[in-house]
Amino acid sequence: MSSNAEALRRLLSGRVLLLCHHNADPDSICSAYALKELAETLNPSTKAEIALAGGASVLSRRIMDALGIETTEASAAEADTLVVLDTASLRQLEDREEEVASADAPKVFIDHHSPRPEVERLAALYLVDEEATSTCEIVHGLYRRFGVTPSARAARALLLGIAYDSKHFTIGTARTFRAVAELLEIDGPVEEIVALLASEMDRSERIARLKAAQRMRIYDVEGWALAASHVSSFQASAARGLLGLGADVAVVAGSSKGVIKVSLRSTDRFHRETAVHLGRDVAIPLGEEIGGAGSGHATAAGVNGEGRTQAVLRRAVELISAEIRGHG
């Protein structure tokens, strides 16, 4: 880590573009914001800017307003260094994928998803830690490594990113909660952090969940309840909803503007007892099969690609079923 940290210090100089994945979530936005402060603290002459590849989620927009986070439309060609955060696959950069891949500037990737060979080939520096619950946790570790104390605003950003990806602090390691404790000493209380992440589900999302439940097919695989469904939007929310109804693992697919999206979710108990890792064992191979990309964590993963919804959904069910039987 020492050599990586020093390499990062050298790369965080000049004009640095911090790039978030499409529909950026709070972990992506908040890790970029905190890293911007760290970069400009380590090298006062550095100008770090945050760019979005395909916008930000509604929740992220609210956090950006609360923290005063600004973004730029600058291109990768204008940067001395590119830093891509919380992004496992270049496909997650959507229209900026080719721009980033072909840019002359050295590229740094900081992420907590399963590493991808195509990203490793591009990276001048690849900081990936699958044990971290969030990219914000990794960035907090960089603050510690460099002996820098985050400002109150950066601490709040890091807390928000960790809280979001740890499901409001319900999952994590001892390291996660040490980071949370240190950050709360700078900015708290925790109730304010959780309140900023609270959002009422709008009508369209509720309807998507109801449609997913209505269209759901249930498969009994070695005693595990696998639920599969399809909706045109809010696939991730719908998959979480199916878990809430009692599924052990859920897959929800849908197509929009020629792109099919698949969201996979499972309970912690399912992962613990089967050792099936949805990101590594299902999303990555499925993404390759449908000409797209997949990534994610043990209990939450996503895939973008091409194909017919029902065919892709069936293939996802086949892959999950095979993994359950293979780990049995």
Looking at residue 108, which CATH number applies to its domain? 3.90.1640.10
Residue 243 and residue 178 share a domain: no
Looking at residue 299, its pLDDT comes to 93
**H helix intervals, 78-234:** 97-102, 117-122, 135-146, 152-165, 174-186, 190-197, 203-215
Give the pLDDT band (50/70/90) at residue 243. very high
The residue out of 179, 197, 215 marking a domain boundary is: 197
Residue 257: band (very low, low, confident or very high) from pLDDT cuts 50, 70, 90: confident
- Structure confidence at residue 312 (pLDDT): 97
* Residue 184 pLDDT grade (very low, low, confident, very high; cuts 50, 70, 90): very high
> Residue 328: its pLDDT value, please?
63
> Does 327 score more than 80 pLDDT?
no
> What's the number of domains the chain is made of?
2
Taking only Cα atoms into account, the Rg of the chain, rounded to an integer number of angstroms, comes to: 19
Q: Does 25 lie in the same domain as 168? A: yes
**Confidence category of residue 183, pLDDT binned at 50, 70, 90:** very high
Least-confidence region, from 149-158, 197-206, 262-271:
197-206
Residue 190: how many other CB atoms lie within 10 Å: 14
The reply to whether 123 and 172 lie within a common domain is yes
158 DSSP 8-state letter: H
pLDDT at position 3 is: 79
- CA dihedral (131, 57, 90, 312) in degrees, to 10, reads 90
Average pLDDT over residues 295-311: 93
Same domain, 19 and 164: yes
Work out the pLDDT band at 189, boundaries 50, 70, 90.
confident
pLDDT score of 2: 66
For residue 261, pLDDT over 70 is answered with yes
Q: What's the whole-number mean pLDDT along residues 44-73? A: 95
Say yes or no to pLDDT of 167 above 70. Answer: yes
Structure confidence at residue 53 (pLDDT): 92
Domain identity same for 158 and 266? no
pLDDT tens digits for range 264-298? 999 999 999 999 999 999 999 999 999 998 988 89
- The domain boundary residue, chosen from 146, 170, 197: 197
- Side chain identity at 28, as an amino acid letter? S
**Is residue 150 domain-shared with residue 78, that is, in the same domain?**
yes
Strand pairing class (47-52; 125-128):
unpaired
Q: What is the pLDDT at residue 256?
A: 85
Same domain, 29 and 141: yes
Strands 125-128 and 217-221, sheet pairing:
unpaired
CA-CA distances (angstroms) from residue 38 to 44, 45, 168, 277? 10, 12, 25, 33
Indicate if 187 and 210 belong to the same structural domain.
no
- Based on the domain organization, do 67 and 192 belong to the same domain? yes
The pLDDT of residue 201: 85
Higher-confidence position of 140 and 190: 140
Residue ending a domain, among 197, 221, 241, is 197
Q: What is the pLDDT, as a whole number, of residue 60?
A: 95
Which pLDDT score, from 0 to 100, does residue 297 have?
A: 87
For the chain, what is the mean pLDDT? 94
Q: Which two tokens stand for residue 238?
A: 């719908």
Question: What's the rounded Cα separation, in Å, for the pair 65 and 20?
Answer: 17
Q: Are 58 and 89 in contact (CB under 8 A)?
A: no
Residue 228 has pLDDT above 80, yes or no: yes
* Residues 141 and 228 grouped into a single domain: no
DSSP type of residue 242? H
Alpha carbon separation from 202 to 29, 34, 208, 241, 323 (Å, rounded): 22, 30, 10, 14, 35
User: 20: domain range?
Assistant: 2-197
Q: Report the greatest alpha carbon distance in the chain.
A: 59
Which band of pLDDT confidence, cut at 50, 70 and 90, is reported for residue 68? Answer: very high
CATH number for the domain spanning 236: value is 3.10.310.40
Please indicate, yes or no, whether the overall pTM of this predicted structure exceeds 0.85: no
Verify that 149 and 193 share a domain, yes or no: yes
> 172 is written with which tokens?
């994590």
Q: What is the pLDDT of residue 133?
A: 94
Length of the chain in residues, anyone? 328
Look at residue 145 in the predicted model and tell me its pLDDT: 96
Both 182 and 245 in one domain: the answer is: no
